[in-house]
Structure 1
Amino acid sequence: MQVTSSATNGPEQVWLHIGAGSFHRAHQAVYLHHLMETGDLSWSLALANIRDDMTPMLDTLERQGGAYTLETVTPGGVRNYEVIRSIKTIVPWDAALMELTAVGARATTKVISFTVTEGGYYLDHRHRLDTGNPDLAADLQGELNTIYGAMTAILRARAAANGGPLTLLNCDNLRHNGERFHDGLLQFLALRGETALQQWVVAHTSSPNSMVDRITPRPTDEVRDRVAHACGEPDPCAIMAESFIQWVIEDDFTAGRPALEKVGVEMVESVLPYEEAKIRILNATHSCIAWAGTLVGLTYIDQGCARADIRKMAFDYVTQDVIPCLTPSPLNLENYRDTVLERFGNPNIQDSNQRVAADGFSKIPGFILPTLQECIARGVVPHATLVLPALFFLFLQRWARDELPYAYQDGVFDPASTRAMLHADDPLRAYCADTALWGTLAGSAQLELPLREAVIRVQDWLAQQN
């Protein structure tokens, strides 16, 4: 276990977070706030973004001294309100990321965490960098579009300033997230020819794996209205989340860390069983309900979870295929499944299908493919799991016909090649041949034949809805 900082005074240590979306402010920032409430004021948060899309929110948050209101709601509809005050520094965005680089290079900055979504790591099915991605390709030439380009600028400045060791903490839903980011960063530096900086990273940084969990919908006017009514004053930065929260981190902080275990963070030797359960049972099931709900005209996740047919798709996927793959486990997987479905069924969250249905081209290989591969390796046809990629295939067909009720958002897919795939002589065969989606199963009869059957089953189900 690394040394933690628990003194109530003395030099303040900085935890810099990159990614100013709602999830960080409903999750990591909340834990740091609760630690401060215990009297431990030795750590504070600095918040930054590597793109300018969050600048209006950050400007508003700056005017509020970094404080904002968090609304949480239980499955039973009980709402609570809390002002979160852990963010002490707002790092203004600039195109050269000069301010972000300066904060990251300081010796007082001991941890840099980040949330850039699953697609923000640009990894192919072999977990290698997808150098054909335009943003990544541009960063390899010196631009600052991705976490790799931004982190390279920060670490180069830190090494030059003798800023000392640093923990790089991935907080996205990516399997082996710390390892994958670390490997991707080293590969990025190698491709840039930055051998000295690559060696510095190996010697002076750690990248522990972590698992994060809290349903956090995009903020709406309704949330801000409720906060204004409940708290007596408006807060344009108000956010909401479910009452459930979990954070599991491998205890490998190379420059010290806050005493997070005092406020409910699970510091463990290995996060693997926790992340597998979360990614396969929660994340994949979430996508299943979003895709199915969209196809039958629903708007919110809880609406899909309230339908016996959609809930059964999710339940069968976990029960028939995932639990056998993950057994034995230190978790009670049946209880975890039931808790997840209860959380998804919370009608007070109003988590949109649009938000959860996004990034399918990362979620298929990241959340769903491992269960397919393991079932097939055991000689089992994963009928229940195949329903999920069947739903996504039909979802994509709706997208190609401009029949989705919302704009589909995906950080890694290529719209032109996806349309070409869906207009092939045999679109499903072309879908099954995509190595970015299916890895070693791409083009195999073991995938294509049962997936055809799954698509037919889902089409029959959809026909019965009319």
Structure 2
Amino acid sequence: MTNAHDTLTILHLGLGSFHRAHQALYLHQLHQLGDTRWVLAGGNLRPDMPDTIAALQAQGGAYTLETVSAQGERRYTWVESIRTVVPYTPDLSGLVALATQPGTRILSFTVTEAGYYLDSQHQLDWAAAPDLQADLQALREGRAGSTLYGALTTLLRARRDAGAGAITLLNCDNLRHNGDRSRSGLLQFVQALGDTSLADWIVSHTSSPNAMVDRITPRPTAEVVARVRAATGRTDPAALMGESFIQWVIEDRFVNGRPAWERVGVELVESVAAYEEAKIRLLNATHSCIAWAGTLVGYQFIHEGTRDPAIRQLAYDYVTQDTIPVLQPSPLDLAAYRDVVLERFGNPAIEDTNQRVAMDGYSKIPGFIAPTLRERLARGEGIAAVAVLPALFLAYLQRWHAGQIPYTYQDQAMDPAAAHAICESPDPVAAFAADPVLWGELAGDARLVQALRLASRQVAEWVADHPRQRAAAQ
């Protein structure tokens, strides 16, 4: 075993389900091989998940992970790689204490796309993010920040002042070019704060490798806790479930060491770009497509929509006709990747909800879908298949506007007033196509408007003709 004084730490911000089903599991597997030099510590930047955090603290950071294959095989793992669970305090004192230790060599985080506050030009969107302005004021007054950038500034400033050495900043989320973009956002924030010496320290003492992560991880439910109790005899309020598929690809740019993750299947590469594009466009965009379409015809779960031949065809055509051609050449077999994705989404045991996957459309349109539209238009190619996805979201948005979505829709990047205005417009398609938050420089493009008109008619006809809708109308 490793002596305590030799232990190195990854400090993770955001102890949500995905981190515990993904990064924490990889480190647990490395521990199982006898390599225990690195451990995890973590906490949240806001006072959320209090019950889960309390359960993790009571269990010393350990918890049960249930995985389920597309064939329905379930396995249970008692994951013990998180050794320190930091309780939330507004001053982030527990996280600061860990960040200032020389043995903490990696600072990782899991954030939704909207949590980066970046516009289509990768600039901080100050006007749409009062949280950022509040963090600037807090830091000027000597208080801690609560956004990602405010928290990182708080932690890195303390680390610099403590002389604790270089540290790698590691994203574990779906933001495209996540290392590059979060680093840019952080430096923009620090410059706005006026702390040029900290900006210089970040440039010279940190790295931000891009990374691609993948594992479907639904929100934990009481049923997971019950299955864990039945299978293991352990009552674990922090139990969670994920699919058996797992992938992590990281650019090997660490400034102060890293675990030997390659021993447990992590891919350490020079560039993640091709893997990232395949995942974002063939998996994430398809996931959203199925969630929006499934909601429109009355499904609750992703697997229901994936197994619906008409919805599956929409997703298949989007990938095959419009997306794979712009991603070639690729080191991946993209057609095989597409088929694996659809098999995973069709797994009924996951019970992933449309509600979870449909959220944050105002980040997903520009992040997952608009790039394919832009690239096809630049090549003079048609956009009929890809235009169906934003048309589905517009139809979904109109249902939301009318109060007809059967669950709460969450979207951090959406201005509700602007979204309602689109739906109330005499020409909702044109208003939707003109929204710069969604489309950036493509906003108002006549080719986009025309494609969305055709796709919106197609979606309306498809929904009206769907057997579930016809049955509901009788």
Instruction: Give me the TM-score of the superposition, normalised by structure 1.
Output: 0.97
Give 2:39's aligned amino acid: S
| 2:363 paired residue number | 362
Moved more, 52-61 or 163-172: 52-61
Q: 1:270 to 1:8 in 2, by over 3 A?
A: farther
* Distance across 2 between alignment mates of 1:304 and 1:109: 44
Is 1:114 matched up with 2:109?
yes
Is 1:63 matched up with 2:64?
no
Is 1:268 matched up with 2:269?
yes
Q: CA deviation at 1:345?
A: 0.4
Give 2:65's aligned amino acid: L
Q: What are the Cα deviations for residues 340-399 of structure 1, in whole angstroms up to 9, with x where unaligned?
A: 000000011000000000010000000000000000011112101000000000100111
Aligned to 1:254, the other structure's residue is in SS state coil
Is 1:402 matched up with 2:398?
no
| 1:196 paired residue number | 197
Task: Map 1:126-205 to 2 at 5 A.
Answer: 126-132=121-127, 133-142=129-138, 144-205=145-206
* Distance across 1 between alignment mates of 2:385 and 2:429: 18
* Distance across 2 between alignment mates of 1:111 and 1:169: 7
Q: What are the Cα deviations for residues 190-227 of structure 1, in whole angstroms up to 9, with x where unaligned?
A: 11111010000000000000000000000011111100
* Distance across 2 between alignment mates of 1:139 and 1:422: 33
Moved more, 134-143 or 363-372: 134-143
Task: Map 1:202-213 to 2 at 5 A.
Answer: 202-213=203-214
Is 1:38 matched up with 2:64?
no
Aligned residue among 12, 16, 22 for 1:17: 12
* Distance across 2 between alignment mates of 1:256 and 1:64: 29
Q: CA deviation at 1:230?
A: 0.3
* Distance across 2 between alignment mates of 1:7 and 1:228: 32
Q: 1:259 to 1:428 in 2, by over 3 A?
A: same
| 1:3 paired residue number | none
Supply the RMSD in Å over aligned alpha carbons: 1.2
Q: CA deviation at 1:98?
A: 1.5
* Distance across 1 between alignment mates of 2:15 and 2:298: 31
* Distance across 2 between alignment mates of 1:149 and 1:425: 41
* Distance across 2 between alignment mates of 1:172 and 1:299: 25
Q: CA deviation at 1:414?
A: 1.3
Give 1:306's aligned amino acid: R
Number of aligned residues: 461
Q: CA deviation at 1:7?
A: 6.7
Q: CA deviation at 1:41?
A: 1.2
* Distance across 2 between alignment mates of 1:201 and 1:7: 30
* Distance across 2 between alignment mates of 1:102 and 1:456: 57
Give 2:83's aligned amino acid: K
Please tell me whether the aligned partners of residues 8 and 41 of structure 1 are also in contact (alpha carbons under 8 angstroms): no
Moved more, 23-32 or 412-421: 412-421
| 1:98 paired residue number | 93
Structure 1 segments of 4+ aligned residues over 6 angstroms from their partners: 6-9
Aligned residue among 82, 99, 107 for 1:87: 82
* Distance across 1 between alignment mates of 2:433 and 2:136: 31
Aligned to 1:233, the other structure's residue is in SS state coil
* Distance across 2 between alignment mates of 1:116 and 1:321: 29
| 1:289 paired residue number | 290
Moved more, 105-114 or 133-142: 133-142
Gaps of 5+ in 1: 1-5
Q: What are the Cα deviations for residues 206-259 of structure 1, in whole angstroms up to 9, with x where unaligned?
A: 000000000000001111110000001211100000000000000000010000
| 1:379 paired residue number | 380
Give 1:333's aligned amino acid: L
| 1:299 paired residue number | 300
* Distance across 2 between alignment mates of 1:433 and 1:328: 32
| 1:246 paired residue number | 247
Q: CA deviation at 1:9?
A: 7.3
* Distance across 2 between alignment mates of 1:112 and 1:273: 25
Q: What are the Cα deviations for residues 403-442 of structure 1, in whole angstroms up to 9, with x where unaligned?
A: 0010001111111221122212322211111111101110
Please tell me whether the aligned partners of residues 74 and 243 of structure 1 are also in contact (alpha carbons under 8 angstroms): yes
Give 2:165's aligned amino acid: G
Moved more, 93-102 or 247-256: 93-102
Aligned to 1:302, the other structure's residue is in SS state helix
* Distance across 2 between alignment mates of 1:289 and 1:129: 30
* Distance across 2 between alignment mates of 1:145 and 1:298: 36
Percent identical among aligned pairs is 58
* Distance across 2 between alignment mates of 1:152 and 1:125: 23
Moved more, 189-198 or 142-151: 142-151
Task: Map 1:217-236 to 2 at 5 A.
Answer: 217-236=218-237
Q: What are the Cα deviations for residues 297-349 of structure 1, in whole angstroms up to 9, with x where unaligned?
A: 00000000001100000000000011100011000000000000000000110
Give 1:137's aligned amino acid: Q
* Distance across 2 between alignment mates of 1:392 and 1:137: 30
Is 1:50 matched up with 2:26?
no
Aligned to 1:350, the other structure's residue is in SS state coil
Moved more, 377-386 or 419-428: 419-428
Give 1:383's aligned amino acid: A
Gaps of 5+ in 2: 139-143
Please tell me whether the aligned partners of residues 293 and 301 of structure 1 are also in contact (alpha carbons under 8 angstroms): yes
* Distance across 1 between alignment mates of 2:417 and 2:166: 43
Q: CA deviation at 1:76?
A: 0.4
| 2:141 paired residue number | none
Give 1:46's aligned amino acid: A
Q: CA deviation at 1:116?
A: 1.4
